Amino acid sequence: MPLTPSPAAGPRRRSMLAGTLSALGPLAVLGTATGCSDGSGSEDDAQTARREQRLRKKTAGQSRALAARYEATIAAHSGLADRLRPLHAVTLRHAEVLAGRGSGSKGPGGKEHREDGEGGRDGEDPKDREDRKDPAAVPREEKAALAALGDAERRTADERNAALTEAPPELARLLASVAAAGAVHAYLLGADEQDGEDDGA
């Protein structure tokens, strides 16, 4: 089945991608506002700040892992590069905003977020991270490679939605926005199969 979208499906998918990209502005604002406290030093504030920092580190690591999957897929299937690069760019921006970097944003207590060393910056085994960047680990068929990316986006969006209950309010809103963007990515990555079914109907 060709990977080129049908004429009828093209405008719909392009408009959804444009909507995803336009969400970067609000995400940056949320990233700047998230996690700022009044510096009271109360026990509750400290616990909230630690919980937010853990969630930020985890979710930023998830976005970096997704970005690595995009990079590996592009390396393995150069014909998909033009289609995947915009989604890859959005995913990298998500990682920056979730980590509290970019737009001069600051984390809990007004302190700028800093990542740990390369070996444990997101709690992930470095070997696992390298595996995601390995083109040999990407499915050999383009359709299967897109499906694998879409599945990774859906799983990550589900995990972020599950984390909403433990996130402070501002971070919860940010996670909800990023999860929604991930759901759009998953749709775009799996759109060809659905478009083909519609064309054959």
Read off the pLDDT of residues 113-172 as tens digits, 9 standing for 90 and up.
Answer: 444 433 344 444 454 455 566 777 899 999 999 999 999 999 999 999 999 999 999 999
Are the C-beta atoms of residues 21 and 29 closer than 8 Å to each other?
no
Q: What is the pLDDT of residue 137?
A: 87
pTM score, two decimals?
0.67
Separation between Cα atoms, residue 92 and residue 121, nearest integer Å = 16
Share of the chain above pLDDT 90, in %: 49
Q: How far is CA 75 from CA 39, 80, 104, 140, 145, in A?
A: 46, 9, 32, 12, 11
Q: What phi-psi label fits residue 108: left (phi over 0), alpha (psi between -120 and 50 degrees) or beta?
A: beta
Phi and psi (nearest 5°) for 95? -60, -40
Average the pLDDT over each of 66-75, 77-86, 107-116 and give the range with the smallest value. 107-116
